[in-house]
Structure 1
């Protein structure tokens, strides 16, 4: 057997797996092969998206199920022993594993991230692969885990009937939390971006602690009724009869898992009495959802619940740790034991990327000053001063500006899909109402279909709040557009939201992250892979702030013995908001930005974007022609370039608008990127016919190739490379697929004939 001729999979099957089994690793419970841990980053251009390659570890080794400790990257035997090490190290960083191996089937290079082995990288023969017990003891020594802690962290995950397991980052968060609690840490903070499954992660933590009897009575706290109900009916459903929701009444202490709304156990003296019906030591564990929203505030009523049950282990969950001069999640809960950011989620393909449409208006950029003695439309004398962007819709509102915003939103939806769930963030409830009215007037046909096409959904609007469930339900078409101020900025799971409109002054990074989080969920079932942000206030400048996706700076750090901070006095503004009508307001500029593979927002054209990708892949036209000519299937090149972010359809539209012709991908590249003359598919097909190519074939074979050329002319190169085309007309009139293949002498000869036809199609260029 010549190892050099074996594929990577053969190397795994014949050499690596046997070496692992010989070392005592259980193939059923401790070895997982070809483990996909990242879905592949989605890139967006125009209205299209493409998904990059999935990240996949060749081997993931666990001593206990669900707690990976080693990664192995395999290569075929034409590579060196350590050729896969750098890739394996990157995977190990993601998967939180300290032991890293690279192999080509001859042996292993072993990298010990713990530093315990002295030499960080060592060469091992196939027979020297470490025993499971050896790596496990090294892991425990590195983590300082005694026998009790080892038992605590080895509790199994909950696996449902569909076999669903935590994603890698969720498993990391769960395992880090289990380890912290096992070591006696009673305040734990998890930071996970919106849309990454914080509640499911919390469920798995609670399940493992509860089933292993480490924690017997658990309280889950949230600050929105809808969040409590979503949790109870979805992620926490497996708890079944052991679970209850605390209401404003006498509590039943016979349950083990309790879910509660903060407001149901705090507030008035009577409500506060509800949590005091439990003894301070009743709960072993308290999980605080969205802990940035007040629970860590020292003078908060919610904090009283945590202080009352201070003996319990408390876990804080948040997407945005709040750090201000008087509130600090990190100071209360401690530094996060694990962080999974928006950037990481997008890079892994688990969160939706976004494009930004920045629209500036002249009144925002230039500011506005009233004429002497000018009154608003209700007769109020307008205070004589300069009104800037921050004043607009807060202290002064312009009917024409609201109309213009509503018009741009309407135009976008008409161009990209009128039933895309859309949230418009307004300055206050009055602004949300005037925006709703403007949209109603601009969309009479949609309103005629259903008056709930546009709804104001704010905290003080009962009719709007009643439609919140329908808005976030992917199966419910209406409402389509929700105008709001604060209600939809946090916590609401609007999976299919495809457009987030910012017409609100936002200066808080926490609030900005929460608002952006309304669009970050991916919902493949309903075609939601990305979302757009339409920014009328210049708010998206915060994307460039290093704190956007980084760790928050702790500002509040009380000294020991320092008394609680005084309660904030809310300033009540008594000034009138002027409503101005009849001003000339215009769009000053419109810019569209999209995310690069590196996560940067750039403004570029489709042509420039495609140029950048293709010139990285093919330095010259000759290099592209050689690659295209030598490819057995052109479809493979087309798909690979799609994964890298080339958007063929939009490029086609661009060329068709300028040249008035339709080209296949080969000619699009030659023409757009390398400035070659444009040829249509029909022109290429006619050239093949003129060269008498078909005279070398007879009977059925000739008819099939002539039909394939015609198919290429109509639909492109991709369909003729798929043998399934033989099951369609006009090929069915020539013969059955089997008969057609036999007419060429067999499948291999048929495929060679198709490749020969392709060479002829591109002969005058390639």
Structure 2
């Protein structure tokens, strides 16, 4: 019996017998809970395998309790134990079953047991065990079981469901400070909304009265509250209200506010509400300062201390986020950037490290050189962290803009792009350079390039709204400094450009989070980080970073922004290190932090800046450590880890059936034959020979040479068929010479197109000229084997 037969004949009837069939939603069969990692190879995108549970058992529509892993009846039930455990732990479930239809093994995480049982537990039994283990009072269960609001049609993903359940359990158990850590782009707002909805709709509140709770959604920017209030929280209808200095009404249930409006310089608006007014406060981006003891915004949280306070952040525990963890405690749930990419919910990214001459070697003024305003520039060696802070080099900005423009021309000129600059002035200069370099499109789309900073106000927000609209062609490029680092849900961002140093790990994650959202139906499946400052490679080199890129390239461009070189680096090479502290010029110009007013700068309008480097950073074969290697070196090393010898590879490659497995393994490691042929400048080489050359320095042979070899070795094969059959086999060899490897699985499709279609359909060709389908496949297999002998 197959696994499907086992499920149909034995597993499902026993689940129904245990009471799981009493509700239509109780048994979920073949439930996929991930999308499958997006794998980018050679510019082509495919999905990796999904995680799929044979059965998920639900107590209520939105409350899964157990996973069941079924194996075919001929296998021991123990075969499914490890997978059942893996899925249960991933899904946050406390119960799992492994079965072969006859024997049932129950895994109970609440009791720490794994034992064979004669039946499945009933829904009531499992839920009773769960509530007893979590010490959840019986009176609190209706709040936990309140259904999600699915009006929008978006069903929370598995990790969102876990986060929602964990937070609500903590609330119901009386925990006053709660934290959840979810990577940027994974839907923290959705989690917050469903928590609010379940508690609001089930009339939970701190005092146990029969009333709806008063909830405050708190952030530090208008964009972080306005967008959720208008969109995600729309089902709350007239219960919503945004607190402002002039409107502190108290008759609603779902409140929104920013710290700046609640705690103004002239009056503390928040004090118009009683300290115990709110039952629940949700703090979005809670790592951004409100939990620091010295923060002026901390007064808001301290004042409303009776409320349950739930903080959301994308920043794992590190020094820059320690205040949040000290205040809220350890997170009840964490979902990392790495996991989001692995599950296929977040877009993977490729990193291009672009190095200019002045960033590589530094910049020093000429003797007695004056800046734009006639001031003498202090004689010093200025480096990446100094540019646009102490000295503003217009030539450097121009080189960046030229390179970015050429990048877009070579890829997609309408790919949504955000350029993060040092300050608003730098963003203005970058916008101007990009406008002039893209004048052909600016004539047609006046807002092709826009600056969106605090100075633009409502005009900038209007540009941002158009940028976020997937159906609006312009703006395409936004230049900014700080405003767009968080809270901008722009699903079509395909390029994130770093024109400034980002030293903070949390800010860096927020910035790259602008591109992690997927929009597959619009062609957005991955994005690029174009790094002019070394920020990305510095953070990726940190062993604690939790989301590696698919690939990193270091590009060298000249003053026209044109790529001029690829710098070869040893496998153990190091990226350019950034100075840990801001340097101070001899003139005594102090460099302020990112959150302070920028210091006086020296403006240098002349000079030339070129791009001089393009390095390739890749992961090792296990996808763990970021290394500095050329793409060809990486491919050769990855191949040797899969196949220790050339003979081991050849034995699998020569057979069309096993070759598909080789191709899959190479693709999963990001190895593309098109990219290899381009990188090694060997467009006519056979893929097998190219791989062997890179891995073992074997001699290269062209596809034509291998085809001629195959003809000479298969003369007996050609002789046994008619003239027409020989013509078809010769055409197959010609197609191999033109396009490369012939895949056995694609033979029937190949026979449907020119020039093969003139001989008839695939079945007609097989019957008339080869003596049947099996005989034709055998002939083609022999031909392919001869190619690789």
Greater alpha carbon shift after TM alignment, 91-100 vs 597-606? 597-606
Pick the aligned partner of 1:340 from 335, 341, 350: 335
1:179 aligned to 2:169?
A: yes
Tell me how far 1:193 sits from its aligned partner. Answer: 0.8
**Cα deviation, residue 206, structure 1:** 1.4
Residue 579 of structure 1 aligns with which residue?
603
Q: 1:490 aligns with which of 476, 481, 486?
A: 486
Alignment partner of 1:256 is 2:253: yes
Residue 673 of structure 2 corresponds to residue 648 of structure 1? yes
Alpha-carbon spacing, 1:398–1:136, altered in 2? closer, same or farther (3 Å): same
How has the CA–CA distance of structure 1 residues 620 and 543 changed in structure 2, closer, same or farther, with 3 Å as cutoff? closer
Aligned to 2:149: 158
Q: Tell me the alpha carbon deviations over residues 320-365 of structure 1, each in whole angstroms, 9 at most, x when there is no partner.
A: 2797799822233332211112122222222223333333445445
Tell me which residue corresponds to 1:35.
31
Residue 431 of structure 1: how far off its partner (Å): 1.8
Q: Return the alpha-carbon distance in structure 1 between the equivalents of residues 292 and 639 of structure 2.
A: 52
Tell whether the 8 Å contact from 1:457 to 1:465 is kept in structure 2 after alignment: yes
Task: Determine the structure 1 residue equivalent to 2:562.
Answer: none
Deviation sequence 1:672-708 (CA, Å, 0-9, x none): 5563653427963995597364665679988877776
**Are residue 606 (structure 1) and residue 596 (structure 2) matched?**
no
Give how far 1:485 is off: 1.3
Please state whether the residue corresponding to 1:579 is helix, strand or coil: strand
Task: Indicate conservation of the 8 Å contact 2:709/2:786, yes or no.
Answer: no
Secondary structure of the 2:454 match is coil
Partner of 1:402: 397
**Counterpart in the other structure of 2:533:** 537
Corresponding residue for 2:450?
Answer: 455
Q: Cα distance, 1:393 vs. partner? A: 1.5
Distance 1:626 1:367 in 2: 53
1:236 corresponds, among 233, 238, 241, to 233
The worse-fitting range, judged by mean Cα deviation, of 257-266 and 537-546 is 257-266
Cα 1:679/1:545, change in 2 over 3 Å: closer
Offset at 1:148?
Answer: 2.2
Partner SS, residue 534 of structure 1: strand
Matches within 5 A, 1:625-664: 625-628=650-653, 630-632=655-657, 638-639=663-664, 641-654=666-679, 657-658=681-682, 660-661=683-684, 663=686
Q: How much has 1:578 moved relative to structure 2?
A: 0.7
Q: Counterpart in 2 of 1:112?
A: 108
Alignment of 1:410-429 (within 5 A): 410-429=405-424
C-alpha deviation, 1:424, in angstroms = 2.1
Equivalent of residue 506 in structure 1, options 499, 502, 510: 502
Once residues 306 and 94 of structure 1 are traced to their aligned partners in structure 2, the CA distance between those partners, rounded to angstroms, is: 33
Alignment match of 1:355 (pick from 333, 346, 350)? 350
Further displaced range: 755-764 or 341-350 = 755-764
Q: 1:189 aligns with which of 172, 179, 192?
A: 179
Distance in 1 of aligned mates of 2:372 and 2:247: 54
Cα displacement string for residues 44-100 of structure 1 (whole angstroms, at most 9, x for unaligned residues) = 456454432222223333334433333333334565432333333332321112333
| CA deviation after TM superposition for structure 1 residue 381, in Å | 1.9
Q: Secondary structure at the match of 1:511?
A: helix
In 2, distance between residues paired with 1:589 and 1:700? 55
Partners of 2:9 and 2:641 in 1: how far apart?
Answer: 37
Decide which moves more: 424-433 or 66-75.
Answer: 66-75
Distance in 2 (alpha carbons) for counterparts of 1:645 and 1:313? 46
1:149-174 C-alpha deviation (Å, 9 max, x unpaired): 33332222233475x42111111101
Aligned length: 731
Alignment of 1:550-699 (within 5 A): 576-583=600-607, 585-587=609-611, 589-595=613-619, 598-628=623-653, 630-632=655-657, 638-639=663-664, 641-654=666-679, 657-658=681-682, 660-661=683-684, 663=686, 669=691, 673=695, 675=698, 677-680=700-703, 684=707, 687=710, 691=715, 693=717
Contact 1:323 1:329 (C-alpha < 8 Å) held by counterparts: no
State the partner residue of 1:560.
none
Q: CA deviation at 1:584?
A: 5.2
> In 1, are the aligned partners of 2:287 and 2:321 still within 8 Å (CA)?
no
Show structure 2 runs of 5+ residues with no match: 206-211, 548-591
1:376 equivalenced with 2:376 (yes/no): no
C-alpha separation in 1, matches of 2:73 and 2:729: 40
Q: How far off its partner does 1:313 sit?
A: 2.5
Aligned partner of 1:430 among 425, 429, 451: 425
Distance 2:614 2:678 in 1: 21
TM-score, normalising length: structure 1: 0.83
Point out the more displaced range, 258-267 or 679-688.
Answer: 679-688
Assess if the C-alpha contact under 8 Å between 2:66 and 2:88 holds in 1.
Answer: yes
Contact between 2:615 and 2:630, CA under 8 Å: does it hold in 1? Answer: no
**C-alpha distance in 2 between matches for 1:460 and 1:230:** 20
Aligned to 1:90: 86
For residues 414 and 56 of structure 1, do their structure 2 counterparts lie closer, same or farther at Cα, with a shift above 3 Å needed?
same
Contact 1:703 1:734 in 2 (8 A): no
- CA distance in 2 between counterparts of 1:71 and 1:359 reads 48
Query: Secondary structure at 2:147's aligned position in 1?
Result: coil
Contact 1:51–1:643 under 8 Å retained in 2: no
- Counterparts of 1:575 and 1:654 in 2: how far apart (Å)? 44
Distance 1:161 1:410, change over 3 A: closer
- Secondary structure at the counterpart of residue 311 of structure 1: coil
TM-score (normalizing by structure 2): 0.81
* Contact 1:684 1:762 (8 Å CA) reproduced: no
Q: Following superposition of structure 1 onto structure 2, how do residues 132-143 of structure 1 map, counting pairs within 5 Å?
A: 132-143=123-134
Tell me if structure 2 keeps the 8 A contact 1:701–1:744.
Answer: yes
Structure 1's 725 and 333: CA in aligned 2 closer, same or farther, altered over 3 A? Answer: same
Residue aligning to 1:762: 785
Does the C-alpha gap of structure 1 residues 384 and 572 become closer, same or farther in structure 2, counting only changes over 3 Å?
farther
**CA distance in 2 between partners of 1:434 and 1:525 (Å):** 35
Question: Per-residue deviation at 1:548?
Answer: 4.2
Partner deviation per Cα, 1:293-336 (whole Å, 9 max, x = no partner): 23334565644544444433222222127977998222333322
Q: For 1:761 and 1:506, how far apart are their aligned partners in 2? A: 53
Distance 2:766 2:320 in 1: 76
Residue 553 of structure 1 is matched in structure 2 by none
Q: Which 10-residue stretch deviates more, 182-191 or 704-713? A: 704-713
Aligned to 1:206: 196
The C-alpha deviation readout for 1:207-264, integer Å capped at 9, x for no partner, is 2112222252333233333333432343223334544545665466554333344444
Q: Which sits farther off after the overlay, 737-746 or 285-294?
A: 737-746
CA distance in 2, matches of 1:569, 1:102: 56
| Aligned: 1:74 with 2:70 | yes
- Distance across 1 between alignment mates of 2:413 and 2:398: 18
Distance in 2 separating the partners of 1:501 and 1:569: 21
Change (3 A) 1:179 1:523: same
Cross-structure match for 1:564: none
SS in 1 for 2:615: strand
Summarize the Cα distance change of 1:135–1:254 in structure 2 as closer, same or farther, 3 Å threshold.
same
Q: CA deviation at 1:713?
A: 6.0
Deviation at 1:581, TM superposition (A): 3.9
In structure 1, the residue matched to 2:552 is none
Preserved contact between residue 88 and residue 100 of structure 1 (Cα < 8 Å): yes
